[in-house]
Chain A
């Protein structure tokens, strides 16, 4: 679209998020549109669904609850810039747009964001799916141009960075035993005391880069409280050109920490440049007024409760933002917000049960920016209330409700890496090959439909980790591949079990005698189903065929499995175990091929060797030379693990 340059800044709406409408057409509802003060005014980066509405009207947000949630969820550096309404048909489009804009204005107010700001109101016509955009920037008008950005990741991250700060706090809360409600007040007071302490005269902030790959990392920058600007000013000024001689912290911007060259790194949250902020309190030094030491005694029965918070905030900032502004207008308000959120979560059951609150940062699929969720770890992730919290988050972010995407295992880590931090590194420090089926040659089936495993898995095979199971361990290895799938897709956080652990499980459930542990005994599909049930709570389906010749008949069922469940399948029969990763099936001709991952491979983890040797490849039931892959005179059991329907 050709825009008139003078109008470019005022009425062009730029849409970065891929999926703008989260609400299905049959419902009506409202979504918040998210932008950033560091990007042009009407740039829509993402959208959140409004999930707390008044009981009477799904288009009337409960601002108090919504703002509490969004305050905790959305990192500073992002803001609500508008709203989108999916309404009933035959609605008054302009009226709806005004409602959307009014709602977003009220939401900004509830979030303490400045009220004078251009806002976007969007209305979706449920029958056609068309979206009409309006803006309100002193005047209410229809948007003249709407641009869908081609490279949204680059747009968001090219000139920006992430600031992170971690602050463990222990709050002593004294309350009177006679008046338990006192505890809530005391907690509130203690929280506010910390909030004001963050701007205390003696506070100091140290900023450094986390990027270990930079060979000559710049020195950390220290900022004293006296250099920080006023927090109430919402605008972020850009620094005037500073000469290279200036090293005064006051004039440094975030880009001080990073090199100009970003070409080698693709733009994304994971690759974004990161600055870590550490809060320091200067406790030595002359006090304001000289005093003699004194003790104060307040009579009455009181109890001490120590409330433990570990604050973890992240903020988004343009690289040319002053470091002092970054601390004053992003980090400190972010810490205060999170502190208050955690206080509110603690308040209701402060005396009965002390929640262990932890903030986690996630990069949800389909989102260009990270989000923060505060989880309670007292009873573990599968506890009812935690499941409810995650379901609500999935709903708000438009994520599918049948699979885990916001589990602690997939949280992002913004901390300073410790020496030897491993994260992804498994046993013996060598990561396993994943998804070895990608890029292998075609199956040779003409006109077939390929159905493959969904998600990632690790290739487990003979002799891995220096463990010699050659000649007996193939079913165990297939099980390890299957467990790795459940682990990578976040259905479990247990490690992939060793042969011994697998055997131990079977003894514990009574399927095998104690002498089984440490033996080289073979197992099959049924034993795998028992272990998956015991260790992961996963149930399985079993397909039994009397002869290998019957397997091609099962292709339709197998294709259906890969389409709906998408988990790897174990095939046991003859004396061999295989892992099945997909089928290519032409229903009309009956021609089919099986994507087999062979656990009998004894070589090293060299992808080329594995693919060229056919250890992961398409096998036709009957190849061109007439050789059968499956034995006709043996029965086969296929184990189809079922994907648990849960978040």
Chain B
């Protein structure tokens, strides 16, 4: 997935918690915060964004506090949406 004209980047995000492994493709401006991608993906898959996280296909964690363009350069475009564990008991 190449970055298109007008400074946009595309990501293919797969929902791993669903055995059918559905995916969606999103295109966002390079400078957009990656949190926007997380939010869109979560909404599309109808899961709460606060309890979701995005990792690469190799399992590398992505800090969403960077630009979409940065994430694209560092990690590519194949990503996964996973649920966040919250543990404490």
Asked whether, in the complex, the Cβ of A539 is within 8 Å of the Cβ of B88, the reply is no
Among B55, B65, B82, B88, chain A packs the most CB atoms within 10 A around the CB of B88
User: Which residues of B sit under 8 angstroms from A574, Cβ to Cβ?
Assistant: 87
User: Could you tell me if B89 and A576 are in contact, using CB atoms closer than 8 angstroms?
Assistant: yes
**Nearest A residue to B16, CB-CB:** A544
B85-A573 in contact (CB<8A):
yes
Residue contact B88 to A475, C-beta cutoff 8 Å: yes
CA distance A526 to B64 in the complex (A): 11
Contact assessment for A544 and B87 in the assembled complex, using a CB-CB cutoff below 8 Å: no
Render B2-39 as a binary contact track against A, CB cut-off 8 A, 1 for contact.
00000000000000110100000000000000010000
In the assembled complex, which residues on chain B have CB atoms less than 8 Å from the CB atom of A575? 86-89
Say yes or no: A637 contacts B82, CB within 8 Å. Answer: yes
Q: Does A577 contact B (CB under 8 A)?
A: yes
B1 within 8 A of A: no
Q: Given A635-B17, A637-B82, decide whether A539 and B87 contact each other with a Cβ distance below 8 A.
A: no
Contact (A541, B61) CB under 8 Å given A546-B19, A637-B82: yes
Q: In the bound complex, what is the Cα–Cα distance between A473 and B86 (angstroms)?
A: 11
A175 at the interface (CB under 8 A from B): no
Q: How many residues of B contact A (CB 8 A)?
A: 22
Q: Are A523 and B86 in contact (CB under 8 A)?
A: yes
Residues on B with beta carbons closer than 8 Å to the beta carbon of A509: 63, 65
Contact A522 B17 (CB under 8 A): no
**Interchain CA distance A542-B79 in the complex, whole Å:** 12
Q: Could you tell me the distance in whole angstroms from the C-beta of B81 to the nearest C-beta in chain A? A: 10
Q: Given A473-B88, A542-B55, does the pair A635, B63 have CB atoms closer than 8 Å?
A: no
CB of A640 to closest CB in B, whole Å: 8
Q: A522 contacts B86, CB within 8 Å?
A: yes
Contact yes or no, B84 A637, CB < 8 A: yes
Q: Is A543 an interface residue (CB 8 A)?
A: yes
CB of A511 within 8 Å of the partner chain: yes
Residue of B nearest to A508 (CB): B65
Majority DSSP secondary structure for residues of B touching A: loop
Least CB distance from B52 to A in Å reads 9
Assess A543 versus B84: contact at CB under 8 Å? Given A526-B53, A635-B17.
no
A214 to chain B, nearest CB (A): 50
B88 touches A577 (CB 8 A): yes
Interface of A, secondary structure class, is mixed
Contact with B along A507-548 (1 / 0, CB 8 A): 001110000000011111111011001000001111110100
B58 at the interface (CB under 8 A from A): yes
Selected contact of B83 from candidates A471, A521, A576, A635, CB within 8 Å: A635
Looking at A474, A541, A542, A543, which has the most chain B CB atoms within 10 Å of its CB?
A542
Whether B60 and A533, one on each chain, are in contact in the complex, defined by CB atoms closer than 8 angstroms, is no
Q: Is A542 a contact of B88 with CB atoms below 8 Å? A: no
Tell me the chain A residues, 568-614 only, with Cβ under 8 Å from chain B.
572-577
- Chain A residues lying within 8 Å of B82, measured Cβ to Cβ, are 542, 544, 637
**A530 in contact with B63 (CB, 8 Å):** yes
Which residues in A have their C-beta under 8 angstroms from that of B53?
Answer: 526, 542
Binary flags per residue of A605-647, CB closer than 8 Å to B gives 1, else 0: 0000000000000000000000000000001110110000000
Would you call A472 an interface residue if the criterion is a C-beta within 8 Å of the partner chain's C-beta atoms?
yes
| Nearest CB in chain B to that of A473: its residue | B88
Shortest Cβ distance from B18 into A: residue = A546
Residues of A within 8 A of B84 (CB): 524-527, 637
**In the complex, what residues of B have CB within 8 A of residue A543's CB?**
59
**Beta-carbon contact of B85 and A572 below 8 Å:** yes
Q: B88 touches which one: A471, A529, A540, A635 (CB < 8 A)?
A: A471
The residues of A that contact B87 with a CB separation of less than 8 Å are 474-475, 522-524, 572-577
Q: Known pairs A510-B35, A539-B61, A541-B59. 17 more at Cβ < 8 A? A: A509-B63, A509-B65, A521-B88, A522-B87, A522-B88, A523-B86, A533-B63, A544-B55, A544-B80, A546-B17, A546-B19, A573-B87, A575-B86, A575-B89, A635-B83, A635-B85, A636-B85
5 example contacts (A-B, Cβ-Cβ < 8 A) are as follows A522-B88, A523-B87, A525-B84, A526-B61, A544-B80
Residues of B within 8 A of A (CB): 16-17, 19, 35, 53, 55, 58-61, 63-65, 80, 82-89
* A residues with CB within 8 A of B: 471-475, 509-511, 520-527, 529-530, 533, 539-544, 546, 572-577, 635-637, 639-640
